[in-house]
Amino acid sequence: MLKSAILSLMLFVLSGCASAQTTTTTVDPGGRMTLTVRDKSVLLAAPHGGFDLSTDEIVPPVAQKLNYSELVATGYRAYSHPINVNRPTEGIGLSSEEEKHTDDAAKVYAEWEADVMKVNPALYVEIHGEGKTSNIEVAVVGFTQEQKTAIKKILSAALAPLYFKTNPEIKVEGLDSIHFTASAAKKYGVLGKVHRALHIELPWDLRRNEKENTTAFLIKALPEIARLR
């Protein structure tokens, strides 16, 4: 009986590992994208890995713990070639009208969009980093006003039991004033292609000094948001 149970558990674990399919793609200039397909209902993504500090380190453990699909890009966004990845433009800290549409940016974005559409998630979540505020800012796509209120409550409840030195607050687009509305990605990029999306901006300290708590926060909150109807 015990041997049978252990064998069944081993087969379950192995089948779970086998079901995750990972592909890595390189697109000039000098970056790479890694897509791991698990449960396709949610895709967790970090388009600015290596630039938005530690976002490429936060996404994989969260996605693995929740069995979500994940997509991470590294090496594309830099001050020398500020490719935005999740839209076919270049530029840092510019408005959507000021960003430049370039051939390199278009090639990188085409691959990013293709990877997202391979999963075609019911919920697409991008993790970004910012240094303007100490708050967690969330831009949204495809949610009603009632659902935005629920999102803020879920995120705030997940944040409450965790200790962060900077005492961040949750700010949600449509409920609060936020700096980062992801307008360019909505206008030109992948946020205009998906069904529902969260664009989460994590402040500096949560990515540098508080990664363990930040990971726990996302693991707690995201499944509840994914269940919103």
Under a CB-based contact definition with an 8 Å cutoff, are residues 91 and 82 in contact?
yes
Task: Give the pLDDT mean for 196-224.
Answer: 96
Mean pLDDT of the chain: 91
Contact 117, 189 (CB under 8 A): no
User: Tens of pLDDT along 7-48?
Assistant: 333 333 333 444 799 999 988 778 999 999 999 999 999 999
Residue 186, Ramachandran bin (φ over 0: left; ψ between -120 and 50: alpha; else beta): alpha
Give residue 101's pLDDT: 97
Domains of the chain: 21-226 (3.40.630.100)
* H-helix segments, 68-182: 103-119, 145-159
- The Cα 40–Cα 42 span in angstroms is 5
Global pTM?
0.90
pLDDT score recorded for residue 212: 96
Tell me the per-residue pLDDT of 141-199, one tens digit each, with 9 for 90 and over.
Answer: 999 999 999 999 999 999 999 999 999 999 999 999 999 999 999 999 999 999 999 99
**Could you count the other beta carbons within 10 Å of the beta carbon of residue 90?**
19
Residue 157's CB: how many other CB atoms inside 10 A? Answer: 13
pLDDT of residue 3: 33
What is the C-alpha to C-alpha distance for residues 45 and 34, in angstroms, rounded to an integer? Answer: 10
